[in-house]
Structure formats: C-alpha cells, structure tokens
C-alpha cells in the first residue's frame, strides 16, 4: 500500500484498540487516544525505511536517507544469511527484515525502554518523529510539494503540545501500565501495532509480506504471506484508494467514538 492508506489504517487500528480497551475496563484518556493514534499512523510508515523511494526515507533529508541505506544493507544481509533453499535469490532488502513481527516487537520495546528512561523528553522525540511521518503519510503528495521545514515545524509544534497534554494527565502517562515507575511504558504499543498493520496492508498486495520470519513455512523462511491471489490488489490501485482507505476512515471513526463513549 502507499503512504496515505498505511497511515490511515494505523490511526484506525489505534482508535479501535481504544474502543476495545475501554470496553475491557482500561479506558484511554483523550491525550492517550490522540498521541497513540498519531504515533501509530507514523509507525505504520516506518517499515518502508528499507526503500529509497518511500515517503519515510525522504522525510528527514540526509538523516533518513542515510538510515535508509543502512537498513537496506542490514535487511539484505539478514535475508541472505537466513534464507532457506525455497527462498528466491533477491537483489535488495525491501520488504524483508522490517516487514516482520519480530522487527515490530523490537521497535516497540526500544521505544518503551527509551520512554521509561528518558521520560517526557524521550516521548517528545518519539512524538516528533512520528508526527512528521504521520503528516507526510496523510498529506503525502501535498506534503512533498510544500517545504520539508514546514512539515518539521508542524511536527515539532504538535509534538510539544501533545507531550504537554499527556504529561499533565496522570492516567494518560500510566495507561495500561499503572505501577509506579512505569510512566510512558505504553508508548511501544502503538509502535508495534503500526508496524504490524503495515505488514498486513502489504500482505494484501500482489507481492505479499514475510511477516512470520524467522518462523519457517515449508522450504521457505521468508514466505510472503497474504490472502488468496484473487483477493489481492496492486499498491496504489483503485481498490486501495476508493474502497480500503474510506473503510479505514469509517473504522477509525467508529473506534474513536467507542473509545470516548465507553471511556
């Protein structure tokens, strides 16, 4: 899928989690709903950091371009090292390491650890990065024609305001993890969720997604999972833009209403 569909599905997934969580007796305060949706929308773009032309690889100028090259090399090396006889020989690392459940969990754990140690300042950095990604993802082509600096400013101001809102609600900092000393630990949850939602989105496209790696399936360790062929579509196709994206909007709306109503 392309940027906008990934971001919107990420936000919708978090809002649905908000509704389910409220139903289970762990309602999210509004800053947790908003901050989580923004982080999840941004995290739903992050796995494409293995692709030069992806939105995310252009989002932070030379920094993200350099990171993209490293991630691509790391992914390719991991693919070559761990492939089984049934996995085809390939040229680059796109849609491998960063498109797996294990990568999602590692990224989430890293973010939670950072937030636990660094507190509000770490959250501010995580929020800034994901806010920029969310803006790039949601506005996509529009953001590309405008200036990067404008998007960074928008990301920085929204990160500042939201981190403040989150910091000032005790329950917002301590959602799900309520023991003393666990503030902001939940920040990793929307990051894991966003990455997984990205993989599911890619699995629906023609090429599939090796989300289960390193668990082997038959003679392959990088089996590109997905639904039966007739249910798949091409990235950026009409189905994605005209059907799936509006469906994600509706799911997000229902989820947000549920999260606020039950809460």
Residues lying near Zn ion in the complex (CB under 5 A): 47-48, 202
Q: How far is the CB of 68 from Zn ion (least distance, A)?
A: 13
- Between CA 237 and CA 205 the distance in angstroms is 10
Nearest CA to 99 out of 58, 45, 55, 36 is that of: 45
Q: How far is the CB of 144 from Zn ion (least distance, A)?
A: 18
Q: How far is the CB of 47 from Zn ion (least distance, A)?
A: 5
94 vs 221 by CB, closer to Zn ion: 94
183 vs 198 by CB, closer to Zn ion: 198
DSSP string computed for 211-262: TTTTS-BTTBSS--B-S-GGG-B-TT-HIIIIIIHHHHHHHHHHHHHHHHHH
Phi, psi at 90, each rounded to 5°: -130, 170
Helix extents (H) in 97-223: 101-139, 141-145, 148-167, 170-173, 188-203
19 vs 196 by CB, closer to Zn ion: 196
Q: How far is the CB of 46 from Zn ion (least distance, A)?
A: 9
The SS3 of residue 205 is: strand
45 vs 122 by CB, closer to Zn ion: 45
102 vs 257 by CB, closer to Zn ion: 102
Q: How far is the CB of 177 from Zn ion (least distance, A)?
A: 30
- Between CA 52 and CA 35 the distance in angstroms is 28
72 vs 202 by CB, closer to Zn ion: 202
Residue 253: count of CB within 10 angstroms of its CB: 12
Strand-pairing partners, residue 220, are 217
Q: How far is the CB of 22 from Zn ion (least distance, A)?
A: 30
């Amino acid at each position: 899928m392309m940027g906008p569909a990934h971001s919107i599905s990420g936000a919708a997934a978090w809002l649905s989690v908000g509704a389910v969580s409220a139903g289970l007796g762990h309602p999210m305060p509004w800053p947790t709903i908003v901050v989580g949706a923004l982080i999840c929308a941004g995290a739903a773009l992050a796995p494409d950091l293995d692709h030069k032309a992806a939105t995310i690889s252009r989002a932070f100028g030379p920094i993200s371009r350099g990171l993209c090259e490293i991630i691509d090399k790391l992914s390719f090396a991991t693919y070559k090292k761990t492939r089984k006889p049934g996995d085809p020989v390939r040229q680059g690392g796109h849609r491998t390491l960063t498109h797996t459940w294990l990568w999602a969990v590692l990224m989430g754990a890293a973010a939670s650890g950072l937030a636990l140690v660094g507190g509000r300042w770490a959250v501010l950095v995580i929020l800034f990065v994901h806010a920029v990604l969310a803006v790039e993802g949601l506005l996509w082509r529009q953001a590309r024609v405008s200036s990067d600096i404008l998007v960074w400013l928008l990301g920085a101001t929204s990160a500042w305001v939201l981190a403040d809102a989150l910091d000032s609600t005790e329950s917002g900092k301590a959602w799900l993890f309520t023991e003393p000393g666990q503030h902001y630990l939940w920040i990793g949850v929307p990051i894991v969720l966003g990455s997984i939602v990205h993989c599911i989105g890619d699995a629906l496209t023609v090429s599939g997604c090796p989300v289960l790696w390193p668990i082997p399936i038959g003679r392959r360790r990088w089996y590109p999972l997905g639904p039966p062929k007739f249910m798949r579509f091409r990235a950026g196709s009409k189905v994605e833009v005209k059907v799936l994206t509006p469906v994600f909007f509706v799911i997000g709306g229902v989820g947000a209403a549920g999260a606020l109503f039950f809460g």
